[in-house]
Structure 1
Amino acid sequence: MNDLAGNDPGAARGCPVAHHGTDPARLYGPDLAIDPVGVQERLRKEHGPVAPVLLEGDVPAWLVLGYRDIRRVLDHPRQFTRDARIWRDRREGRVADTSPLVPMLGWRPDCVSQDGEPHRRLRGAVTDGLQAAAGRGVRRHATHFANKEIDAFADTGRADLVSDYAEYLPMLVITRVLGLPEAEGRDLVESCAQVLKGGEDAVTHDIRIQEILGALVVRKRSEPGSDLTTALLAHPARLDEEEVVSHLRLVLIAGHTTTSNLLARVLQLVLTDTARLSGLISGRLNVSAVVEEVMWNSPPLAVLPGRFATSDLEIGGHRVQEGDLLVLGLAAGNRDPEIRPDPGVSVQGNQSHLAFSGGPHECPGRNIGQAVIEIAVDVLLHRLRDLRLAVPPDELSSTASTWETRLDRLPVEFST
């Protein structure tokens, strides 16, 4: 709508209409929370493989929905950088420091926020640290904490496998890897969830995470141990304290939220399919095959933040301007009818899904997450006899935010 002077106020402010030339849909709010797949498939139908959207605060972005277009963005950092310092809306003051988008999209001195040589230097340190941590007993930690979490409800005959198991187990393993005490790991679950959920508390929780990790770094300088924090501090790449904290934050948030979400979805699939459940219990079916199926159909991050166009270009039939934000619809890309015309066909053995991102920024901790999930499922199925859903499958619900769709609850019963 024009103002009284007959001018378009959006053109002056750089609003989404001015950026995209059309009315974008909101990638947040009640419609998305209830039916994220419906929202994204409507956008695909209306706009094709790339659609204009609004993020929280009505910040404009392009949602990339097509599988091949997502691969193009991931594989070409010179065209689509992860460096948010060129994000035009933030650079021109339309995204405040208090925006819930900043914890997910803002620039930090970590490997995710940079490309080229700075990225290689920092990612090498993280990869080395994670490999060393995995070699020092991630599976042992996962087995220990899986049994400990199950002990808390094993005598009751019932549990919610989201709030009693999947939400906490990955965090307990990750905090052990980082060198944090168990109690702090349990406290950090809520903060990580709030950062992904967004809203007015996202920045507050993000600051809390950084304060806890900053104190950890100070402690590990004088009390080194066999943990990721010590490994980053001692790495030949010579990370400074801010870089170490930023990478610990990255591993904590990304590792916990994706692994807990994926674990919940794997358990949901197993418990709503008696053939899969009996196959896992008998050993005829491998957990990794179930994990692979879930990564195709319910990737733990539905939308990946974010990339920024380094020049004016065309993608998916749309003109994108230098400094525009693009967010990548990993779930929608995995459903792209151009590559999966029949989504009912088995994807077993096909690892070309988008769940781990791709290109230079592909997730470096994928093996650790998968190991945690495999141990978590194996221990659960062997500890609890006659494990079964306590509600009909169609009563299971999910809630979506901009970046993820999480299972609300997974109530089960079992024999004691």
Structure 2
Amino acid sequence: MNAQTLNGPDAPRGCPVAHGGAELARLYGPDAATDPQAIYERLRKEHGSVAPVLLEGDVPAWLVLGYRESRRVLDNPSQFPRDARTWRDWQEGRIAETSALIPMLAWRPDCVSQDGEPHRRLRGAVNDVLQAAVGRGIRRHATHFANKQIDGFAADGRADLVADYADYVPMLVMSRVLGLAEAQGRRLVEACSGVLKGGAEALVHDGVIREILRELVERRQSEPGSDLASDLLEHHAALDHDEVVDHLRMVMIAAAVTTNLLARVLGLVLTDTSRLSGLIGGQLNISAVMEEAMWNSPPLSVLPGRFAAGDVELGGHRIEGGDLLVLGLAPGNFDPEIRPDTHVSVAGNQAHLAFGSGPHECPGQSMGQSMIEIAVDVLLHRLPGLRLAVEADELTSTASTWESRLDRLPVEFPV
């Protein structure tokens, strides 16, 4: 499917690609990978707070760029449900079963994909089991795996804090919480990252995640333990096998997103000596640095996805029933209507979009923040004299449709 086809007379009803008759911006490919922020700002100038775009495979969608518009969509599931079974392009067979969008957008039997009473039932179970996991010592697990990762490079005097540290600590912690062996957790690092990157291998990576989690659930059905998988199986909401697997998958994808936030927080700390000294000396709290990261580089740049329940006006555009909307968390946080001066401190302001909003707001945000707090604290105390090994302007990022990740964060430290 290409832009030319979609702009022709056979373009589907409401297809945003037909907007204005011009070929639209793609949220994937070389330009989007290197400078997504420039694309967001160009779209804002051309279209306002909502813009027609193409996702992988030239699938049409509306990108919500405005802060207020994003909040309207997120806070109104009856008008903008999450249930992908209402997606017109899916219903009418224009989305291939092999599409790289499937792992992030397709309907699944989890609380993310449902609204109303089914969502309340499943979300209640997730909230309960995550709270139980916190009670079992999430901070202890985070301390253990942070130290274990540091042990692997502490004698070298140098490391890449993305590949050697941030990519692993949250994933290993959540693998332990789920009830997985560490080796399986390390396999999940690559698989979850592959789903978020999209591309031709996204479905293969998603299959690896599901295989590992199906085996875990089958094992816990006969051998329950003190872990999240067992808690979901035993919860009074009576989740079936597939519901448990998909909620465990949801938790692991969230952990993969947390790895990105950890890398961004470490980047902020190491590119500003005043932040670094403030954290080491106790004058600065890590939560303030996390707030800054969640405003300026949220771990998910674009949140998938919502679907218009009926024809509606949003940001001056006519959105038709069944249209796909994706939420621009990164551009929304920079919306000049609510943040005209991006140099003004965001300290104490938790109104960012990084965790979403409304009924589907991230249920594990406090757990993720706790893991990051521990990971940063352990790192700074284990490696006194830690410093960036390159100039700050040498750090680069690569973006997919959904996120922008630091490529590397090279550091040096005395041994």
TM > 0.5 fold call: yes
- 2:47 corresponds to: 47
CA distance in 2, matches of 1:287, 1:200: 37
In the alignment, is residue 11 of structure 1 matched against residue 26 of structure 2?
no
In the alignment, is residue 206 of structure 1 matched against residue 206 of structure 2?
yes
User: Alignment partner of 2:413: what SS?
Assistant: strand
Asked if 1 retains the 8 angstrom alpha-carbon contact of 2:74 and 2:358, the reply is yes
Asked if 1 retains the 8 angstrom alpha-carbon contact of 2:191 and 2:208, the reply is yes
Asked if 2 retains the 8 angstrom alpha-carbon contact of 1:385 and 1:414, the reply is yes
CA distance in 2, matches of 1:123, 1:55: 28
Q: Give the drift of 1:25.
A: 1.0
- 1:341 corresponds to: 340
CA distance in 1, matches of 2:6, 2:73: 32
- 2:229 corresponds to: 229
CA distance in 2, matches of 1:9, 1:415: 59
CA distance in 2, matches of 1:146, 1:381: 11
Asked if 2 retains the 8 angstrom alpha-carbon contact of 1:303 and 1:328, the reply is yes
Unpaired segments ≥5 residues, structure 2: none
Amino acid at match of 1:10: G
For 1:244-393, list aligned pairs within 5 A.
Answer: 244-254=244-254, 256-393=255-392
The one-character-per-residue Cα deviations of 1:194-248 (angstroms, maximum 9, x if unpaired) are 1011111101111111111001000001111111100000000000000000100
The one-character-per-residue Cα deviations of 1:11-70 (angstroms, maximum 9, x if unpaired) are 325295665344321111111111010010000010000000000000000000000000
- 1:396 corresponds to: 395
Asked if 2 retains the 8 angstrom alpha-carbon contact of 1:11 and 1:18, the reply is no
- 1:102 corresponds to: 102
- 1:3 corresponds to: none
Distance 1:283 1:41, change over 3 A: same
The one-character-per-residue Cα deviations of 1:351-394 (angstroms, maximum 9, x if unpaired) are 00000000000000001100000000000000002100100110
User: Alignment partner of 1:364: what SS?
Assistant: coil
How many residues get paired? 409
Asked if 2 retains the 8 angstrom alpha-carbon contact of 1:66 and 1:336, the reply is yes
CA distance in 2, matches of 1:92, 1:189: 35
User: Alignment partner of 1:406: what SS?
Assistant: strand
Q: Give the drift of 1:105.
A: 0.2
Q: Give the drift of 1:9.
A: 7.2
CA distance in 1, matches of 2:92, 2:318: 20
User: Alignment partner of 2:292: what SS?
Assistant: helix
CA distance in 2, matches of 1:9, 1:104: 25
For 1:60-209, list aligned pairs within 5 A.
Answer: 60-209=60-209
Distance 1:18 1:328, change over 3 A: closer
CA distance in 1, matches of 2:299, 2:7: 39
Asked if 1 retains the 8 angstrom alpha-carbon contact of 2:17 and 2:52, the reply is no
Q: Give the drift of 1:345.
A: 0.5
CA distance in 1, matches of 2:117, 2:153: 49
Amino acid at match of 1:54: L
CA distance in 1, matches of 2:168, 2:131: 22
Distance 1:17 1:104, change over 3 A: closer
Asked if 2 retains the 8 angstrom alpha-carbon contact of 1:10 and 1:17, the reply is no
Unpaired segments ≥5 residues, structure 1: 1-6
CA distance in 2, matches of 1:339, 1:382: 38
CA distance in 1, matches of 2:296, 2:372: 17
CA distance in 1, matches of 2:21, 2:226: 54
Distance 1:234 1:282, change over 3 A: same
Asked if 2 retains the 8 angstrom alpha-carbon contact of 1:10 and 1:18, the reply is no
CA distance in 2, matches of 1:195, 1:65: 23
The one-character-per-residue Cα deviations of 1:290-325 (angstroms, maximum 9, x if unpaired) are 001110000000000000000001000000110000
CA distance in 2, matches of 1:401, 1:408: 12
CA distance in 2, matches of 1:22, 1:109: 38
CA distance in 2, matches of 1:38, 1:224: 50
Amino acid at match of 1:271: L
- 1:242 corresponds to: 242
- 1:35 corresponds to: 35
CA distance in 1, matches of 2:366, 2:6: 51
The one-character-per-residue Cα deviations of 1:82-122 (angstroms, maximum 9, x if unpaired) are 00001001111110111000100000000000000000000
Asked if 2 retains the 8 angstrom alpha-carbon contact of 1:19 and 1:60, the reply is no
Identity %: 71
- 1:4 corresponds to: none
Asked if 1 retains the 8 angstrom alpha-carbon contact of 2:192 and 2:206, the reply is yes
The one-character-per-residue Cα deviations of 1:130-181 (angstroms, maximum 9, x if unpaired) are 0000110100000000000000100110000000000011110010010000
User: Alignment partner of 2:386: what SS?
Assistant: strand
CA distance in 1, matches of 2:232, 2:167: 27
Distance 1:21 1:320, change over 3 A: farther
- CA RMSD across the alignment: 1.3
CA distance in 2, matches of 1:96, 1:383: 49
User: Alignment partner of 1:63: what SS?
Assistant: strand
